[in-house]
Chain A
Amino acid sequence: MFKNIKDRIMNKKRNENINENITENITEHEAWELNQSLDKNKALLQTILDNDDMVTFRDFETKGKASLKCFIVCVNGMVNNEMINENIIQPVTNASLDEISKQTKITDAFINKIIVSNSITKTSDVNQLVCSVLYGDTILLIENETEALIIDTKGWGMRGISEPLAERVVRGPREGFTESVMPNLALIRKRISNPDLKFQFKEIGVRTKTKTCLCYINGLVNPKILQELMERLDDINIDGITDSGMIEELIKDAPLSPFATIGNTERPDVVVSKLLEGRIALVCDGTPFVLTLPYLFIEYFQANEDYYNNYIYGSINRLLKGFGFFLSTSVPAVYVALITFHQEMIPTPLILSVFAARQGIPFPTVVEAVIMLIAFEILREGGIRLPGPIGSAIGFVGALIIGQAAVEAKFVSAPMIIIVALTGISNFLVPKMFGPLLVMRLLFLISASFLGLFGYLFGVIGLFIHLMSIRSFGLPYMLHTGDLKMQDIKDTTIRAPWWTMKNRPKLLANEDSNRQFTGNLGKKER
């Protein structure tokens, strides 16, 4: 029988009509209804869940003269055993159905009088039953009934809420998302006590049926963006999703660009502030990374801590990050351009020390720069994956070998070490931008090595043309609208004081743009 499902899926896949939802088609089929006979039903389920030793079948009977045979199916390890014992088996085996009138349906009697659970549904759909069992629910089948009960007994082990390692803050909430979707949604919901906060579930992945959840605030969100997102999610036809990054790549704008047009975060407070700006969050089961969209270029530079600290400090940090972006992309390219093309632009004392340091170096400056940049990336990549103590050893080895020995052995010149170190450190000012920075840095370096500062400038122009042409869910990526208003500067180059930021970003929240005083938190009328 299960092989049938498999065959159906495979046939559907070969079908050209990929937009149709496969799972719906399977559930609509009439052959997958429960039977009157308990034994037949059991045989059916046992066939479907064949060769799966995690699945447990348990038979029992009710008390009294007219005792009913029942059995439950659950998956060991995914269920809360205590809950099944105390809230299902114990009440059922103790219950007597003698007093129940003939008019009442047996299943309703079970739901209303016997089983202790806050979430019970009844269905005759075998497919749904199987899916529920596999996701940690327990199903209860009763003799002579064509409907079975699905009881929520999910209780698998999960990681506790802890501070996200990749997005640490000095000041700000220390909660981070975990790998389970429900607690993650709770973290968001408890921060916004408003009925306009909406959650919509969606299953992605034909095989994995990964639960994803769209979150948005009704009245703030742009309905067109929401509609567009729904359509893109519906277009996904993949057998499995293991991380939100896969969804991101499947639905993002400018798929070939290294720049992200969908953001991700592990922090509930970041998600909440994005929701309040009219953005949409996409929570995916099995990963702590929540997607936020639309995502604009400026969001690379907006850290949550900027908004919690004093605005002057926050603004300085914002400017520093912009400067770090410039340094990280341009320093090697500008250095190579100046040293090999425009020697007259360097102050004489500086060129004398570079001249002295470059004596006896076997490689041209460009090759030296590329080698060192690659060495830095190797060290970085190697250090990330290694466990803590070994990771720091890598740092030592890298610093000693590359930093000192290479200079002493005249493999590279000392100024190049400074350049690469500066590049690498300013990399960490915009930590979400590693990939794009790496690509841009090498492109700028190569173009600068061909044409000097002209080449570098061509690279910069190319980058700007690219950035200006990207859109994220219909919004211009660089927020370029043709005219500059004070409103646009307030949360971009600087972080204005909170009392001056009375409006939401204009392009996003066109339903209700007032953030302070006049706004009615989500009500459509002003």
Chain B
Amino acid sequence: MKKLFLKMIVLILIAANVFMVSGCWNYREIDEMEIILGAAIDYDEKSNKVILTAEYVKRSGGGEGEVGPEVVKTEGENVFDAVRNLVIKTGRKALWSHTKVLIISEDVARRKEQLISIMDWVQRLTETRDDIWILLSKEKTAGEILEMGIEAQKMVSMDLTDLLKNEGSISKFHAVPIWQFIDRIAADGISPTIPTVHKTLTEYKTMSEIFGTGVFNKTKLVGWLNGAETMSYLWVIGKLKGGILVLQGNDSNETGKMSLEIQKNRTKRKVNYSEGEITMQLDIKTTVRIAEIGGEVNYMDESATEKLENDAAELIQKRVDDVITKVQQAYHSDIFGFAGVVERELPDEWEKIKRDWDQVFTDLKTDINVEVEIRESALKSKPIKVGE
């Protein structure tokens, strides 16, 4: 009893420390700072300058609890120079501890020194968090993504954050916090990815969308994956949490499409080694449920279910194979982390092939086994029967 009590006291003290050592201690009133919600970084090649676009909270001066976005643009020799130039424009120091997203432009992503300098600044500054989401702009500049919030009077950074948190239900992008991105740059045998953000013009307003992936080879942007390919990429790395798989019903009297909602996925990756040749084996086991049927076939029949499962498995197999081939052939960048699997399972062989892994990766054979299980059909067991 006494020991337990002591242990509890020690635990509580340690836990209390977590709260107490979590920040700097100098007195600052929050209304004397600008709360930066998101930042976008562009690079102007002509003048060799970094352009920072920062979204911060507007001062309404009303005290009515209404907050809106405000965007400011600054230039600097490098990132921190541009950041400090914010003070000239806003008149107050910036508070970076609530920054949610960092958007970089394609120009920046294609330049190693620019990318490294941004990452270094984020990690070095005491205020910025390491879990800022990083995004890659598919538009001409990164800044225009944030600027479009002014017209609609909504905080783009907050919207993007909400969207990124919903990755599990859509699976058309893979959200990457900045610490993970930096880890991937530093690690051997794996390359980072960044989700891409787009600007869409509808009839009434402009909106931001996130889908697809920018593929990096270490610090250099080498190519893109679209939304569907990103889902396949998630299948390969085993991070798929949900999403919809749309099948074309191929029964003789069936024409409609049907969707299967992914409930659970498990991807096992191992390496087969025989006669000096490495084969990557992927065992994908996906549990789905029928979410929508565009016809009259009752898939709850055992044979129909089995057929549907096979069709789905075939589709997944094809899509996964496609994305692996695309990345291997077009980008030569191991964003799947296959190198890690090889290193773990064949350490001796890894030492030999380590140096020319890029070439080995390009030629790597894959063996994809997919197993789909239809677990349920939501609230209905039979499709809608059309009367005579």
Interface set of A (CB-CB < 8 Å, partner B): 339-345, 348, 351-361, 364-365, 407, 410, 413-414, 449, 451-454, 457, 483-486
Contact (Cβ within 8 A) B30 A351:
yes
Q: How far is the CA of A410 from the CA of B309 in the complex (A)?
A: 65
Tell me whether A345 and B20 are in contact (CB under 8 A): no
What count of chain B residues pass the 8 Å CB interface test? 36
Within 8 Å of chain A (Cβ to Cβ): is B115?
Answer: no
Known: A343-B98, A348-B100, A352-B67. A359 touches B31 (CB 8 A): yes
Report the minimal beta-carbon distance from B245 to chain A, rounded to whole angstroms. 35
Contacts of A352 in B (CB 8 A): 35, 57, 67
Q: Determine which of B2, B60, B127 lies in contact with A483 in the assembled complex, contact meaning CB atoms within 8 Å.
A: B2
Q: Check if A345 sits within 8 Å of B23, measured CB to CB.
A: yes
Q: Which residue of A lies closest to B8 (CB)?
A: A484
Given A343-B97, A344-B23, residue A357 in contact with residue B65 (CB < 8 A)? yes
CB distance from A352 to the nearest CB of B (A): 5
A-B contact pairs, 23 of them (CB 8 A): A340-B28, A341-B24, A342-B22, A343-B97, A344-B129, A348-B158, A351-B98, A352-B35, A352-B67, A353-B65, A355-B30, A356-B57, A356-B62, A356-B63, A357-B65, A359-B63, A452-B25, A452-B27, A453-B20, A454-B25, A457-B16, A483-B2, A483-B5
The answer, among A359, A410, A457, for a CB contact under 8 Å with B60, is: A359
Asked if A343 meets B30 with Cβ closer than 8 Å, knowing A355-B67, A484-B5, the reply is yes
**Given A341, A359, A452, which contacts B59 in the complex, CB threshold below 8 Å?**
A359
Interface on B for A, CB 8 Å cutoff? Answer: 1-2, 5, 16, 19-20, 22-31, 33, 35, 37, 57, 59-67, 95, 97-98, 100, 127, 129, 158
**Inter-chain contact B23/A355, CB cutoff 8 Å:** no
Complex CA–CA separation, A20 to B65 (angstroms): 71
Residue of B nearest to A363 (CB): B29
Query: What residues of chain A lie closer than 8 Å to B127, measured between beta carbons?
Result: 344
Distance A340 CA – B127 CA, assembled complex (angstroms):
14
Give Cα A298–Cα B2 distance, bound, in whole angstroms.
21
Residue of B whose beta carbon sits closest to that of A407:
B63
A322 to chain B, nearest CB (A): 15
Contact of B31 among A358, A449, A485 (CB under 8 A): A358
- Contacting pair A356 B30 (CB below 8 A): no
Bound Cα distance A343, B27 (Å): 10
Q: Which residue of A lies closest to B17 (CB)?
A: A457
Check B25–A341 contact: CB distance below 8 A: yes
Tell me if A485 and B1 are in contact (CB < 8 A): yes
- Identify 12 new A-B residue pairs, CB closer than 8 A, beyond the known A343-B98, A344-B97, A452-B27: A339-B30, A340-B28, A341-B25, A342-B22, A348-B158, A352-B67, A355-B57, A356-B67, A359-B63, A413-B63, A453-B19, A457-B16
Say which residue of B33, B60, B98 sits within 8 Å of A356 (CB atoms): B60
B23 adjacent to A341 (CB under 8 Å): yes
Q: List, in ascending order, chain A residues with CB within 8 A of B63's CB.
A: 356-361, 407, 410, 413-414
CA distance A360 to B62 in the complex (A): 8
Q: A-B pairs with the 3 shortest C-beta distances?
A: A344-B97, A342-B23, A358-B31
The reply to whether A348 and B98 contact each other, CB–CB distance below 8 Å, is yes
With A344-B22, A357-B63: A351-B35 Cβ-Cβ less than 8 Å = yes
Nearest CB to that of B129 among chain A residues? A344
Nearest chain A CB to B255's CB is how many angstroms away? Answer: 48
